[in-house]
């Protein structure tokens, strides 16, 4: 327990989270909140309501990925507050599965009929900005003191060509969830130990360890971020590229990239299962049916456990959660966090000021603190962390937050989908033993160079 607190303190230190008394005041009537962590039930969401001189009528359309009900609950919680001052505003919640959501959004944006407030995956922002679909939020941000409370990583991730295009609502850490009965000695703390454990599970005929393969993150970037020089990860190339002639140039095919691929091959030979994109959803069931003993996905596994009826109080009896174990001598990190972003579409039907007001309610630390604590999301603003920790019943929340000691976000480039596919193909070439690790990663780098215009 002490270790968990230590981890939390580390995180808070890292992100500079000792914000005493987040000031949310301002001309629109936002009020100052007590200093975290002394947040009490007296902090109510209704305090955040701003006075609107002219209530807006009509249908306010919000869209979200409906893999898990949490997003809907978050949107609804905030909308109920917005409706206090706009009683004739009707909500329309449009939920789509993750796969179809991206294409649906692109289609409705292209048709000029976007939702008034869509939640957008953080990795889609550059594409939507490039297509000219999003309203810059600079003017709103300039008059919004809360922006200072955002963790720099999640703040910078929303800036494109010097403009802010979204507010990062929630995030996650990529973690292993495992059944304790198959890991009585605890989860392996190094990649070498995971490989040994997989061999033992295979020999004993027990359910195997499994990881997703996709978005270049699973498992390539998790290994790569553990072993490549840290200053490189903090560079504008996100560890994968360097800036050459003002353009990105892939450098991930060096010794660290090759070594990462070699680890993937070792994992495969040890019996670890690799799951492709169509199998992502089904992998939750496999985990909870104990067909696999450990699954590397994300902190949203908490929500998956809740959805299957596992009560918080029983979790520690059955499950454990662990970060990606680095190779011996490597560094622990939060994986490559993702998350969902609130944006204002240029073609939104509702007044943009109203949408902005709604976004502010969505990210008000009292709403975030309340909703995330119940649903297992991680906040992106520093002053909400203590509220979440204070209120959360999730036994792994402290662990999750401790993994944020080192946070790296994935590249924010418009070509990321194609770049990540090239890296995923390299991973599969190695897993399916079609190419040697060095050959696979060098081919991927060559392809990525072409994608980036070299």
Partner 1 sequence: MVKLKLNLSRYFPYFYIFPVYAFIGIIIIYPIVFLIALSFFDVSLNLRYTFVGLSNFERLFRDRKFINTFKPAAIFVGGSVAGQNGFGFLLSLLLNRKVKGKEFLRALFLIPWLISDLILGYMFLILFDFHGAINDLLKYFGFQPVNWLMSTDLAIWIVTLANVWKSSCIVMAMHSSGLQSIPEELYDAAYVDGASLWQRFRFVTLPLMKPFIALSLIITTVATFNYFGVIYVITYGGPLDSTTVPTFYMYRWAFEWGQLGYASAIGVSVMIINVILTAVYIKILLR
Footprint on this chain of partner 1 (rule: CB under 8 A): 102-103, 106-107, 109-110, 127, 130-133, 273-274, 276-279, 282, 286, 291-292, 417-418, 425, 428-429, 432, 434
Q: Is the dihedral of CA 296, 302, 308, 313 positive or negative?
A: positive
Neighbour tally for 236: CB within 10 Å = 9
Q: Measured from the CB of residue 153, what is the shortest distance to partner 1 in angstroms?
A: 26
Nearer to partner 1, 148 or 276 (CB): 276
Measure Cα distances from 411 to 195, 229, 398, 419, 441 in Å: 29, 17, 27, 10, 18
Q: Phi/psi class of residue 16: alpha, beta or left (left: φ > 0; alpha: ψ in -120 to 50)? A: left
Nearer to partner 1, 286 or 349 (CB): 286
Q: Measured from the CB of residue 417, what is the shortest distance to partner 1 in angstroms?
A: 6
Helices (H) and strands (E) in the chain, counts: 19, 15
Q: Measured from the CB of residue 275, what is the shortest distance to partner 1 in angstroms?
A: 9
Q: Measured from the CB of residue 263, what is the shortest distance to partner 1 in angstroms?
A: 19
Tokens standing for residue 158: 């929303």
Question: Helix, strand or coil for residue 429?
Answer: helix
- d(Cα 81, Cα 85) in Å, to the nearest integer? 8
Q: Do the beta carbons of residue 197 and residue 188 sit within 8 Å?
A: yes
Q: Measured from the CB of residue 380, what is the shortest distance to partner 1 in angstroms?
A: 26
Strand (E) or helix (H) holding 420: helix 416-431
Nearer to partner 1, 76 or 436 (CB): 436
Q: Measured from the CB of residue 415, what is the shortest distance to partner 1 in angstroms?
A: 8
Looking only at the bridges linking them, the beta strands covering 163-164 and 117-121 are unpaired
Nearer to partner 1, 52 or 199 (CB): 199
Q: Measured from the CB of residue 257, what is the shortest distance to partner 1 in angstroms?
A: 19
Nearer to partner 1, 12 or 105 (CB): 105
Q: How close are the terminal C-alpha atoms of the chain, in Å?
A: 51
Measure Cα distances from 127 to 88, 108, 124, 415 in Å: 34, 14, 5, 8
Contacts of residue 260, defined as CB under 8 A and 6 or more positions apart, other chains included, come to: 220, 223, 224, 227, 441
Q: Measured from the CB of residue 206, what is the shortest distance to partner 1 in angstroms?
A: 14
Nearer to partner 1, 91 or 279 (CB): 279
Nearer to partner 1, 120 or 397 (CB): 120
Nearer to partner 1, 365 or 447 (CB): 447
Looking only at the bridges linking them, the beta strands covering 58-65 and 292-296 are unpaired
Contacts of residue 131, defined as CB under 8 A and 6 or more positions apart, other chains included, come to: 109, 110
Q: Measured from the CB of residue 168, what is the shortest distance to partner 1 in angstroms?
A: 23
Nearer to partner 1, 174 or 268 (CB): 268
- d(Cα 368, Cα 6) in Å, to the nearest integer? 24
Beta pairing partners, 379: 170
């Amino acid at each position: 327990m002490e270790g968990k607190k230590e981890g939390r303190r580390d995180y808070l230190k890292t992100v500079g989270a000792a914000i005493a008394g987040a000031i949310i005041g301002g001309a629109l009537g936002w009020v100052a909140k007590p200093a975290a962590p002394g947040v009490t039930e007296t902090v109510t969401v209704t305090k955040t309501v701003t006075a609107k001189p002219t209530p807006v009528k009509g249908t306010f359309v919000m869209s979200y990925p409906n893999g898990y009900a949490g997003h809907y609950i978050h949107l609804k919680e905030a909308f109920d507050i917005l409706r206090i001052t706009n009683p004739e505003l009707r909500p329309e919640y449009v939920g789509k599965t993750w796969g179809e959501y991206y294409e649906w959004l692109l289609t409705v944006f292209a048709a000029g009929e976007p939702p008034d407030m869509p939640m957008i995956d953080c990795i889609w922002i550059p594409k939507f900005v490039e297509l000219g679909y999003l309203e810059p939020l600079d003017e709103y941000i300039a008059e919004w003191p809360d922006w200072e409370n955002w963790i720099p990583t999640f703040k910078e991730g929303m800036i494109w060509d010097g403009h802010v295009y979204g507010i990062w609502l929630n995030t996650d850490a990529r973690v292993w969830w495992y059944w304790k009965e198959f890991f009585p000695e605890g989860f392996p703390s190094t990649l070498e130990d995971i490989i040994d454990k997989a061999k033992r599970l295979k020999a004993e005929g027990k359910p195997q360890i499994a990881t997703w393969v996709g978005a270049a993150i699973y498992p390539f970037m998790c290994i790569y971020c553990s072993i490549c020089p840290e200053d490189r990860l903090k560079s504008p190339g996100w560890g994968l590229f360097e800036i050459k002639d003002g353009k990105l140039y892939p450098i991930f095919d060096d010794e660290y990239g090759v070594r990462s691929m070699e680890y993937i091959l070792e994992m495969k030979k040890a019996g670890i299962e690799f799951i492709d994109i169509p199998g992502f959803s089904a992998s939750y069931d496999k985990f909870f049916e104990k067909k696999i003993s450990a699954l590397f996905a994300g902190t949203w596994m908490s929500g998956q456990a809740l959805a299957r009826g596992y009560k918080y109080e029983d979790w520690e009896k059955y499950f454990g959660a662990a970060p990606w174990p680095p190779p011996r001598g490597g560094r622990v990190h939060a994986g490559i966090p993702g998350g969902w972003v609130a944006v204002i579409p240029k073609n939104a039907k509702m007044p943009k000021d109203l949408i902005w007001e709604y976004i502010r309610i969505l990210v008000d630390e009292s709403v975030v603190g309340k909703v995330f604590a119940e649903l297992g999301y991680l906040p992106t603003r520093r002053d909400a962390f203590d509220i979440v920790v204070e209120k959360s019943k999730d036994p792994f929340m402290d662990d999750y937050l401790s993994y944020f000691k080192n946070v790296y976000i994935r590249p924010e480039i418009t070509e990321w989908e194609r770049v990540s596919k090239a890296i995923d193909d390299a991973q599969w070439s190695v897993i399916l033993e079609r190419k040697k690790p060095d050959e696979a990663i060098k081919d991927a780098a060559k392809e990525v160079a072409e994608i980036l215009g070299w």
